[in-house]
Structure 1
Amino acid sequence: MSRRVKLSLYGLLCVLCVPFVFPTWWMVTSSVKPINEIFAFPPTLVPDRWDLTSYSRVFELQPFAQQYWNSLYIAAVVTVGTMAVAAMAGYAFARIRFPGQNVLFVVVLVGLLIPSEVTIVPLFQMFHDFGMSDTHWPLILVPIFGAPSVLATFIMRQFFITLPGELEEAARVDGLGRFGTFYRVALPLARPALGAVAIFTFLHSWNLYLEPIVYLSTPANFTLPQALTQFVDAYGGPMWNVQLAAATMTALPILVVFVLAQRQFIEGLAHTGLKG
């Protein structure tokens, strides 16, 4: 490929990325602008005057540090739990033969077709009866053992299907049982798939919005998506600079994690047959 063609392709990619990069750039720069400059036309790419007070007000108006911790630890627990459950379930569906295996897997996949809005009312009633309303337990248990983990199970099953059977035979010759084969042989090889599952799961839990609104009512228990809606003035109007500052602090860590882990993400999709 000639240098001119490469430069043309890079230029085209730069133009195509503008609709995706500009909203993020506008959010970050507007968080340090005075309110009258946020909606100036034409919009300014770099603030004329930097105002960082919106970042301090985020923590004054809401228990934002606690809410940030809530989202962080919930997403971490859900990610680890989903990886464990999906890895074991995916391995069982891929490598263990039992009657009705394919039928049961289809039933599991049906969970992808059920919108969360359909089940949230009975789930709320169940957790309320158990005394778990206004706690984080529903936000942890439902994603790990409910429909959100179905996609993770599918990804892990597709990966384990591709593993050569000779690996299990060699493990059995060495005296490993079923769980030993899974833990010592299959699981270490599944790092690309586990990386894809981790990113999917963490992003889903981090961005969860409907469920926290239904289950949580105390500001100290809020997660970040729910907390972002609380930055309003006395008349109920949005405090744009404060909201954008909170949104920036919410979004930037996820962008960093995705940039650092994108290689594992792509490898995971390629190994599970989901590429393209």
Structure 2
Amino acid sequence: MKTDLSPRMKVALYGLMCILLIPFVFPTWWMVTSSVKPISDIFAFPPDIIPRQFDFSTYSQVFELQPFARQYWNSAYIAALVTLGTMIVSSMAGYAFARIKFPFSNAIFMVVLLGLLIPSEVTIVPLFQMFLSWGMINTHWPLILVPVFGAPSVFATFVMRQFFISLPVELEEAARVDGLGRFKIFWTIALPLAKPALGAVAIFTFLHSWNLYLEPIVFLSSTQMFTLPQALTQFTDAYGGAMWNIQLAAATMTALPVLVVFIIAQKQFVEGLAHTGLKG
């Protein structure tokens, strides 16, 4: 039964939500505002909510000290390819586990899920040896292939499987009566209905690839090949000290596009994850 809150309760509820929002919003606000502060003002206590001085030259210095535009492009196209590849692999694998009956399908799916329990630190050395033997060190291939066929794709496969299980079987039975084959049913019926799950997979896969740090520092050595998380650690002075305002300016340019994308697509993200628990 739906009940309407009184105006006083609404004010109290919104006030509580604003208070709870502070720990999440303040770090981002501090990062953005500190990127235009002099270094001496960044660690002032209590911190200045609004900068006393604005120095926007830090944003131009980001591109002067590092090939930041190239590094930005590296992260963007790698994340796009990883997202597309993961969506393709996970949707086909998830549909196969959900709809195609083959021997030991449940046992194989459980073995696949075990990949989520293996930390990336455990596999990074053998992966390095493998890509070294293939001549792919200091290239972007490891950053594309490992996520598409690694743990991120395993979780995406789980999400897609749970979504396809929730779809009515009658839809496929009707299509089969009309003479459609398995792949045609997947492509024309199941996949278009899976847009919420695909949206969720796309968002968390893009975020994972965008924020990837361990693999780039292992596989990449050239500044021109760096991705953004690795590039953010390179803004140091002649003595190795961090150039905080310039580093925060680079971090702001790195984080804000992701925040915008998530805010725009958060509805699809929530809907996609909500459908993963309807049936098991």
TM-score greater than 0.5 by the shorter chain: yes
The answer on 1:59 being equivalent to 2:42 is no
Q: What are the within-5 Å matches in structure 2 for residues 36-115 of structure 1?
A: 36-115=40-119
Look up the match of 1:229.
233
Q: How far, CA to CA, are the matches of 1:72 and 1:147 in structure 2?
A: 20
Q: How far, CA to CA, are the matches of 1:128 and 1:53 in structure 2?
A: 41
Q: What are the within-5 Å matches in structure 2 for residues 1-276 of structure 1?
A: 1-273=5-277
Q: Which amino acid aligns with 1:263?
A: K
Q: How far, CA to CA, are the matches of 2:277 and 2:211 in structure 1?
A: 26
Query: SS state of the match for residue 277, structure 2?
Result: coil
Query: SS state of the match for residue 272, structure 1?
Result: helix
Q: What is the CA distance between 1:40 and its match in structure 2? A: 1.7
Q: Which amino acid aligns with 2:72?
A: Y
Query: SS state of the match for residue 269, structure 1?
Result: helix
Query: SS state of the match for residue 238, structure 1?
Result: coil
Q: Which amino acid aligns with 2:23?
A: P
Q: Which amino acid aligns with 1:95?
A: R
Q: How far, CA to CA, are the matches of 1:273 and 1:73 in structure 2?
A: 32
Gaps of 5+ in 2: none
Q: How far, CA to CA, are the matches of 1:225 and 1:219 in structure 2?
A: 12
Q: Which amino acid aligns with 1:155?
A: V
Q: Deviations over 1:239-260 (max 9, x none)?
A: 0000000000000000000000
Q: What is the CA distance between 1:39 and its match in structure 2? A: 1.5
What percent identity do the matched residue pairs reach? 77
Query: SS state of the match for residue 191, structure 2?
Result: helix
Q: How far, CA to CA, are the matches of 1:240 and 1:79 in structure 2?
A: 31
Gaps of 5+ in 1: none
Q: How far, CA to CA, are the matches of 1:245 and 1:160 in structure 2?
A: 43
Q: How far, CA to CA, are the matches of 1:20 and 1:146 in structure 2?
A: 30
- The two structures, once aligned, show a CA RMSD in angstroms of 0.8
Q: Which amino acid aligns with 2:119?
A: P
Q: How far, CA to CA, are the matches of 2:274 and 2:149 in structure 1?
A: 26
Q: How far, CA to CA, are the matches of 1:13 and 1:273 in structure 2?
A: 27
Q: How far, CA to CA, are the matches of 1:146 and 1:240 in structure 2?
A: 34
TM-score normalised according to structure 1 size: 0.98
Q: Deviations over 1:93-119 (max 9, x none)?
A: 000000010110000000000000000
Q: What is the CA distance between 1:41 and its match in structure 2? A: 2.0
